[in-house]
Amino acid sequence: MFDFSTAEAMSLVVKVFGVGKGGLNAVNHMISAGLPGLEFVGVGPASQGTEGSLARENILIEGTFPDRPGTPEDRERVSGRLKGTHLVFIVHTLGCEVATAAAHLVAEVAREMKILSVALVARPFFLEGRKRQAAAEVGFQAIRRQVDCIVGFDSDRVIGPAGGGTLSMTEALARVGRTLQDAVDSLSSFLLPQTPLMLGLAPVPATPGGKPLVPGLFRREAESPTGAGETGSEVGRLGRPKPPLTPEQAARREAATFQDQIKAITEIVILPGLICTDFADLQIILTNAGTGEMAFGSGQGENRVTDAVDHAFESPSFLETLRKAKSVLLHMPMGPQTSIPEIHLAATRVQELAHPDATIIMGVPGTDDLPADTFRLSILATAFEPHPNPRS
């Protein structure tokens, strides 16, 4: 790999487009969290607007999906905000056709401009009904055809089992927004400058200042709904009752997931770390990657490394995906107390479980936010099925 100087890294333009109410909420949380190296754009359908957006740039888009996905003027507005961008994240909660039209337009224009694109999307809550679920699936497949990689998660997984007990709808939406925020946070870690250290390893992302919000969230199944982080379930990992979340807390939870995803990707090439990684590494993993799945794990105490890895792999469905994936992004933030043998142990465990021919890019960014007795990792598995519409 080539050493990526700070000046070169900071010349990278990475933008997060928050589309629709859920996307705007996630962007607001990321801005408030002060994620480094990212620019934010708020996007809303004309019928909803972008009121309350903290993004410096906001645009309105006409049209409905799939009938009329934007006007020529809309395309010009989007392309103007995308000009000079190297990587774009499209953050969106599915289900609203007019908002999905806007997300699809951003994805389509990014593709035309040959910009590396990742869509992070949340599916509707089960209680929103079959019609909204069906619209979400149509939107997911359409966006999937336009972007390099799409990572989706079920909003019901964020709020925990049985709808999160007494969790209100507002609380649930808040948590989904926080979840999206964490996703962005994790993926963005690969884009900060790395200190080269030839260990034959590669790094992974995590949530600063605490364990990933909902470890293993981005899997198709949830074999262990309780004890998967702060899910708002009635009983926590230690068997103690948990208080119901407020609407604001739930919205933050969803936004945090998006933030974790983005940090996991971008910190690896933005923050100084053990291993030299750059934008070219991200391109290898993400270009024409198709559908991606993410898992987060954390551990504390003497067995923190093995616990973190086991936590990430507690879903058999994600383990199956990893074994088929041809590209893997592994992010492991390294705190002041994290040792190189710990990084080596975690990386070896992941390599043993991954496809034997998989390309594994690791990021080990340095951070002061990781508690001394904690180990955290994030895994993005891609290229486990063909892209439906690969770009040349």
pLDDT digits (tens, 9 = 90+) for 55-110: 999 999 876 656 666 788 899 999 999 999 999 999 999 988 889 989 999 999 99
Q: Does domain 6-196+247-266 have CATH number 3.40.50.1440?
A: yes
| CA atoms 213, 376, 140, 315: torsion sign | negative
Q: Are strands 87-93 and 14-19 parallel, antiparallel or unpaired?
A: parallel
User: What does the pLDDT look like over 340-381, one tens digit per residue?
Assistant: 999 999 999 999 999 999 999 998 887 777 888 899 999 999
**DSSP annotation string for 3-50:** ---HHHHHT--EEEEEEHHHHHHHHHHHHHHT-TT-EEEEEEETTT--
Q: How many whole angstroms separate alpha carbon 215 and alpha carbon 229?
A: 6
Q: Which of 291, 267, 333, 334 has its CA nearest to residue 87?
A: 267
* E-state strands within 126-202: 149-154
Which residues make beta-bridge pairs with 218?
294
List of residues 6+ apart from 162 with CB closer than 8 A: 233, 234
Q: Sort 242 into a burial class: Cβ within 10 Å, 0-12 / 13-18 / 19+.
A: middle
Query: Phi, psi (5° rounding) for residue 198?
Result: -80, 90
User: What does the pLDDT look like over 181-233, one tens digit per residue?
Assistant: 666 666 666 665 543 332 333 333 333 333 333 334 443 333 333 333 333 33
Q: How many whole angstroms separate alpha carbon 192 and alpha carbon 277?
A: 9
Please report, rounded to a whole number, the percentage of residues in the chain having pLDDT higher than 90: 41
Q: How many whole angstroms separate alpha carbon 352 and alpha carbon 98?
A: 44
pTM of the model: 0.81
Q: Which of 38, 40, 45 has its CA nearest to residue 55?
A: 40
User: What does the pLDDT look like over 124-169, one tens digit per residue?
Assistant: 877 778 888 898 999 999 999 999 999 998 777 766 654 445 556 5
pLDDT band at 258 (very low <50, low <70, confident <90, very high): confident
What is the phi-psi region of residue 209: left when phi exceeds 0, alpha when psi lies from -120 to 50, beta otherwise?
Answer: left
Question: How is the chain split into domains, by residue range?
Answer: 6-196+247-266
- pLDDT on residue 169: 59
- pLDDT on residue 160: 60
